[in-house]
Structure 1
Amino acid sequence: MSRLKLGTKFTLLAGCVMATTMFSGCLNHPLKPVELEKGSEVEDQLQLTVNKDVDILFVIDNSGSMGEEQAILANNFGAFIEVLEAEEVEANYRIGVTTSDNGNEWCKSTTPEAGNLVMSSCTSRINDFVFNNGETDASDIACNDICNLDAAALEVLPTTTDLDSTPSPRPWLENIEGKKNIPDTTDTVEAFKCFGPQGINGCGFESQLESMYLALIRAQNSDEASYGFLRANAILAVVFVTDEADCSYNKSFSEIFKQDGNKVFWSDPTALYPTSAVCWNAGVSCTGDPSNYDSCDAVNKDVDGNEAVDDSSAVLHPMSRYLGLIQGLEEEKQTLNAEQEVIVALIGGVSNDGKAFYSSAAATDPEFENDFGIGPGCEAVNPNNPDEPVEAVPPVRLRDLVEEFTPGNMFSICNDDYSTALQAIAQRIEDQIQPACYTKCVKDTDASTLVVDPECTVEEDPPGTDNSVRIEECQTDASGYVIDPNTGDYAMPSDEVNVCYALLTDSSMATDSTDDDMSDFCAAQNYNLEFKIARRPGYPAAGGTSISATCSLADFPEVSCPGIGG
């Protein structure tokens, strides 16, 4: 359906005014002619929100019970990438992976990642998929059966970062302006099936929060391999995948695990070794009847088990350490985009409604409670072994981080399919990648065409410079915008140009071309112009680059764009 043109709207309005005048003698309260307030004809400069950069950190539990869960994550990863690579999103993403292993007194044989990013094929780490001297072997289910790519297909290609211009292989997956850091013929989803699984021989005292903390700190240290993973202007998302409680302990208080230490947090002080119950007991306090707790919450406890102690005395690193880090990163990003928020997500021991719950102690397997300090937060039938149900520990400390930054973004690890969870997490990212709507009503310079013909100037302002750079409009022909067959994106106007803009003004499919169609988001706000920025592959914008547009505005915005912004 064609859009009603400005001139037509004035004609209709004039007819209504004439009709009002003709019938005014019949009315006790004659209607007044509508008086339109003329809008600004001058050009108005607006910053465009065109940031599609996303840095995504996966913290994956690599303890002995996580083989099947890692396989499910890898097999369902397509649901995550599908959202990020959708035509209306086209995120410029980086995906890094680290494990929950930060070492422990009882984990002498593991090789803690301690926040280092892992970017190698699971087939080259196949021994990592065997736990407890072969008692559990997940090498097939979590690696060999799902990783179908050879070393050549998984080659990590040299790339540069905003912080380091020296090309070198980086320990993450990326796709920026259509350019990947793996071979063009390698599918990202298939690559993650090889890179994502982390094995099951990691430390059983998982430190998910500390792994996140160290990974984000390392990414800002020029001496680290992961330096540059975080981009200043990028949306940051952290995704935890785990079936246990957080055990990010302060190593100054490692005595809580030792045989000759204070065993106040042990389920059985007479035992030869501690269980994961230490992690729960040292960082969580529950209220209500122990047979059915009302709630359980993260608290600081000292080595003697005293609660509500100050941060410096807490045996597990206090939540303020992690809340403060994420809050600080969020505030830094908001200096560039006031609406940007860090996204935190969890696939863990919660029920399908995303709530952490606590099984009745009376109905809980005593062995499970001895091992983990609490009953399971979720349970499910294990299709591969009905005698051993799928169970996971309520992730109280992780829950608190999620609820602080992305409330409700929690999903059950006990499910046998994570596609819904991964899709929902990716959609939280998509929500922050909004189209570049021009939020004022632009002037139509040619009322004879089916859609608005704006008059605009677009400029790019790279960080660290005082002068903006004029951006040219993308190539057009008699049919509209030209699409580059090699990139599937708008064609550059010349070989010397590496960035261009397209004007999207068709909100109702008035033209035959789809290349000028506005997004549903901008059209629903009654804006009459949206911008699309295209870049030549291999020439991404520097982090912190801003883009502004200056357009002539409509004389009567309430007529041209009724209900704009709402």
Structure 2
Amino acid sequence: MRQIPFLFLTATALLAGCPDREVSELTPAPAKVEYKDIPVTVNRDLDLLFVIDNSGSMGEEQDSLKANFPKFINVLNTIQGGLPNAHIAVVNSDMGTLGGPRQGTPGDSGCDGNGDDGVMRALETRFTNGMANVRYISDIKDDATGNRIQNYTGSLAEVFSEQAAVKNKGCGYEMHLNAMRRALDNPANAGFLRPNAYLAVIIIADEDDCSLKTGAGQGFFSQGDIANVQSFRCFSSSTTCDGNLGDQVGPRANCRPNDNSQYHEKIATYVDFLKSKKSDPGLLIVAGILGNPTPVSVTTRVRNNVTVPDLVPSCTYQGATLQRAFPAVRTSAFLKAFPQTTFTTICKQDLSDGLVQIAQLLKTIIGSPCIDSDLATPYQCAVSDVTNPGKPNQTEVRIPQCDQAHSVKPCWTLDADVAKCAATKSQLALNIDRGGTVPAANTHVIANCVTK
């Protein structure tokens, strides 16, 4: 049950392709440095799409998501200027059989047709003054008055709790990535995406992605009684491992998405689709609370008096009952295709750590002055105003540390800020005293600070 910490981009990563335009760093280079990139003008528009597994094993996890959502929002509230201008939507992973034969009873863990077809869950009319088919939460700050313009009544946490109640009676062949793609293209969801907003896709699931190619439903769902080998069927046809061991019992090594699958879409197809939604790749964020991608192992079990191959859970935890999750090989590969990403295990009784970790990533990307690490004392930072970072017309102006009188401006200080930076080790914020001057458009504060 490992956690992968949220990403901090390095200066060289930020300036990839422009080796002669690197931002100044500390000299001599210290052993440990925290890198910060803080946009001076913060883009506060954030479109959040939650893709939630609604198969039969997800009841406790959904309850934990709803219970801990306020902690997620509490972190976003500490972003400069408060809660971003948010659109928040929820879809489930039920995409039916995509033209294949019906499996079981739809609405009771069965699969048919296009399932819920990536349609965002409508808010309950009691939260929308009786308006029906409000497909996403809108919570926007009015810059003129400072008030929030909301398309709902009640608290944000209460409304999201109802919106995220996708239940656990959906199709057991979870197509997380197909649901994401359809959600962002379905005309029923018009208005959710804003062209210049950050787009964050958050997948919460205890089984891997089983997304099928267009037209592959008939072939995939016509392989006999595949209900007996549900998790293994998706794994065996969508994933490849060293040795090509088929249904042989035992561990698997170096498992990865099978780009030559007869039935399943390549991960690159979904990566390219999501990237096509933003002209600026820096506006894309992906995250997952998933089954650990390793270990991967195959066993057998007896079902309906038949011995069938089965996939071994990659992690378990004890909730009200024993809960388990399966290797998220495909879904984690999707996450890794994006530089701004985070993953945490779903095998925890309390999902608060994962939600806070995702919120911290969003806060860092949107722009947070908080220093996450413990800093060495006395403070040593190289701080610059960088305009048009990473571009041919990049310019840099070094900013000195403020003296007691702030006699040279702009200058920087590190100040205790428990309210904004409560979740960080240092609880320090990097502040710039500009003396009332306004920096050029597309200026970022780039800082490298020595840590312990």
Please tell me the TM-score bracket, short chain as reference. Answer: 0.5 to 0.7
Say whether the 8 Å CA contact 2:229–2:309 is kept in structure 1: no
Q: Which residue of 2 aligns with 1:117?
A: 120
Letter in 2 for 1:348: L
In 1, distance between residues paired with 2:226 and 2:337? 37
Written as runs of structure 1 = structure 2, the 5 A alignment for 1:165-204 is 170-177=134-141, 178-183=147-152, 186-204=154-172
Distance (whole Å) between structure 2 residues aligned to residue 94 and residue 412 of structure 1: 26
Higher relative strand content:
2
Match of 1:280 among 206, 227, 235: 235
Between the aligned partners of 2:74 and 2:193, the Cα distance in structure 1 is 22
- Which residue does 1:374 correspond to in 2? 311
Aligned to 2:325: 392
1:522–1:530 Cα contact (<8 Å) kept = no
Post-superposition offset of 1:208: 0.7
> Which residue of the partner structure matches residue 402 of structure 1?
335
1:203 partner letter? C
2:42 aligns with 50
Matched, 1:529 2:438: no
Q: Which amino acid aligns with 1:252?
A: G
CA gap 1:346/1:247 in 2 versus in 1, 3 angstroms = same
Distance 1:216 1:175 in 2: 19
Aligned equivalent of 2:128, options 151, 155, 162: 155
Cα 1:522–1:249 change in 2 (3 A) is same
- In structure 2, how many angstroms separate the alpha carbons of the residues matched to 1:345 and 1:92? 20
Counterpart CA distance in 2 for 1:531 and 1:237 is 34
- Cα distance between partner residues in 2 of 1:405 and 1:50: 21
SS in 2 for 1:379: strand
The number of equivalent residue pairs is 356
Percentage of pairs with the same residue: 26
Alignment of 1:539-554 (within 5 A): 548=440
Indicate if the aligned counterparts of 2:137 and 2:151 stay in contact, CA closer than 8 A. Answer: yes
Residue 322 (structure 1) aligned with residue 314 (structure 2): no
1:432 alignment counterpart = 365
Q: How does 1:462-541 map to 2 (within 5 A)?
A: 507=413, 522-523=430-431, 527-529=432-434
Give 1:358 shift.
2.7
Higher gyration radius (CA): 1
- RMSD of equivalent CA atoms: 4.2
User: Post-superposition shift, 1:507?
Assistant: 3.6
Q: Quote how far apart the aligned CAs of 1:157 are.
A: 8.8
- Aligned-pair distance for 1:277? 2.7
Superposition pairs of residues 10-29 of structure 1, within 5 angstroms: none
In the alignment, what sits opposite 1:231? 194
Q: Which amino acid aligns with 1:380?
A: Y
Structure 2, unpaired ranges of 5+? 1-38, 108-113, 142-146, 370-383, 387-395, 421-426
Deviation at 1:69, TM superposition (A): 1.2
Relative to 1, partners in 2 of residues 1:564 and 1:376: Cα closer, same or farther, differing over 3 Å?
A: closer
Q: How far does residue 359 in structure 1 lie from its aligned partner after superposition?
A: 4.9
Query: In the superposition, relative to structure 1, how do residues 253 and 226 fare at CA in structure 2: closer, same or farther (>3 Å)?
Result: closer
Partner residue of 2:179?
Answer: 211
Distance 1:424 1:360 in 2: 29
In 1, Cα distance between equivalents of 2:437 and 2:49: 28
Tell me how far apart the structure 1 counterparts of residues 59 and 217 of structure 2 sit (CA, whole Å): 28
Aligned residue type for 1:282: S
Q: Closer, same or farther in 2 for the Cα pair 1:103/1:225, shift >3 Å? A: same
- 1:176-228 Cα shifts (integer Å, max 9, x gaps): 215242456x221122111111012211111111000111123xxxxx23212
Matched, 1:75 2:61: no
Matched, 1:347 2:283: no
- CA drift of 1:361 comes to 3.7
Contact 1:174 1:181 in 2 (8 A): yes
- For structure 1, the 5+ residue unaligned runs are 1-46, 122-150, 159-167, 219-223, 264-268, 301-307, 335-339, 351-355, 455-503, 534-546, 552-560
Change (3 A) 1:180 1:373: farther
Aligned partner letter, 1:323: V
Distance 2:436 2:330 in 1: 42
The change in CA–CA distance for 1:423 and 1:103 in structure 2 (over 3 A counts) is: same
Deviation of the 1:297 alpha carbon:
0.9
Residue 253 (structure 1) shift: 2.4
Alpha-carbon spacing, 1:376–1:432, altered in 2? closer, same or farther (3 Å): same
* Residue type at the aligned position of 1:345: A
Q: CA deviation at 1:367?
A: 6.0
How is 1:257-296 mapped onto 2 (pairs within 5 angstroms)? Answer: 257-258=220-221, 261=222, 263=223, 275-287=230-242, 291-296=250-255
Matches of 1:112 and 1:415 in 2, distance apart?
29
Match of 2:206 among 243, 263, 284: 243
Which letter does structure 1 place at the counterpart of 2:62?
Q
